[in-house]
Each structure stands twice: as structure tokens, then as C-alpha cells.
A and B are shown apart, each in its own frame.
Chain A
């Protein structure tokens, strides 16, 4: 079946602009995660949605970052007033409850 889909695959934006990154999880997966991966680094947790519970936003690095998940399915990660340090690959993953994560291929964000 279809895997986790992320769009766009690449995004180049100017410093100060807002960007929206989209994630389509696997159908039926109740959990959705956003991670950030900087060049040659591990994954930095950003935010976690589980079913109808309040999201775990503890990993968001600043108030410029926000995410929502509409209808328990598609999620959008928004970065306002982008900075150069926001340049990274943003990875989305989904999973059934308490199961291993299925990752998308990520969105590579470059802030110039």
C-alpha cells in the first residue's frame, strides 16, 4: 500500500518567509510524528500527535514552529519567519498505536 507521503520534497525559501510542509500518513495510522534532521546529525523530535489526544509539542524549538493535524489524517508543519538555522530535512512518520514508525522521504528545506 501507499507509504507516508511528504510534500514538497525540496523547498528553497528566503530568510523571513513562512513555509508549510505537508505530511500524508498511512491510512489508519493513529500516531503522527515530525522530526528534523540536520546534515550528518541524528533526528531531533519536534511534535507528536496520537489519536484525539492533545499533541506533544515539547520538541518545537521556538514559537515560530507550529503543526496541526486535520481530521486525524494530514498534517502541516508551519515555520514562520524562517531563519538559516531552520535549514534541514524535515521527516514525518506515522504508526499504529505502539508500533514501529513508518517514515516519509522528507522535505529538504533550504533557507537562503
Chain B
């Protein structure tokens, strides 16, 4: 079943600004992952946060997880034109690595 559900936003921001997108899910999870997809390409893994973690950083990315609200957010700081892509969250409900993906957030960074 589909679990990850991003807020249905299409963000358009200026280069250098921060971009935030959210994801909610319905059932308990083992971990939550964020992926990026450039147009016409496959998805690329960005970051994984486990259910016992609340925040994680990787370069310009910051992910938070609130298991009580069943939600996660992805923050991209100091955005660049190359960050233009669709961003998907995916949940692993039972640790078997079978991921349920959300519909994705399209982000456009204007140079």
C-alpha cells in the first residue's frame, strides 16, 4: 500500500533560498528515505532516517522525522539550479526494504 505522501507542492524558488518539503505516512515504519529524480532519469537515494532518529544531516540536506505525527520534512539549504528535480519520500514499514513511495514534490530552482 502507498504510505509516503508528500504535500502536493510544486516549489519554485530563487537560487540561494531554502526549500522545504513534507511527507506524511499512515503506519509505523522502520525507516524513511528521500530520493531525487531528475527529468527522464531514475531515482537517486539522498538520505535515510531510522525510526529512532529525529534529525539527520547530509551536506546541504536536513531531514527530520516525527513518528508521533507520522511525518518527515526535507530541507535543502542554499539551493542551486542543479537541485531542480522531483523529490520523493519512501517508507520501509517492516524492515524488509520493500519501499512505498509518495507522489513526489517538484522543485524548480531559478538561477
Contact = CB atoms under 8 A, between A and B. Distances in A.
Q: Do A and B interact with each other, yes or no?
A: yes
Interface of A: 4, 31, 33, 35, 41-45, 48, 50, 56, 91, 93, 95, 97-106
B41 A100 contact: no
The range of chain B's interface size is: 20 to 34
A110 to B, nearest CB: 14
B49 to A, nearest CB: 12
Contacts of B95: 98
A43 B97 contact: no
Interface string B21-37: 00000000000010100
Nearest to A6: B42
Contacts of A101: 35, 43, 45, 97, 99
Contacts of A4: 42
A103 B44 CA distance: 7
Interface in B36-84: 40-45, 48
A41 B99 CA distance: 16
B96 A50 contact: yes
Contacts, number: 55
A45 B93 CA distance: 14
A101 B33 CA distance: 10
Nearest to A99: B97
Interface in B88-105: 88, 90, 95-104
Contacts of A31: 97
**Top 9 A-B residue pairs of the complex, sorted by shortest distance between their CB atoms:** A103-B42, A100-B45, A43-B101, A42-B103, A103-B43, A42-B101, A105-B42, A48-B98, A42-B102
20 contacts: A41-B103, A41-B104, A42-B101, A42-B104, A44-B2, A45-B98, A45-B99, A45-B101, A50-B96, A50-B97, A56-B98, A91-B42, A91-B43, A100-B45, A101-B97, A101-B99, A102-B45, A103-B42, A104-B42, A105-B42
B2 to A, nearest CB: 7
B101 A100 contact: no
A43 B45 contact: no
Contacts of A106: 41-42
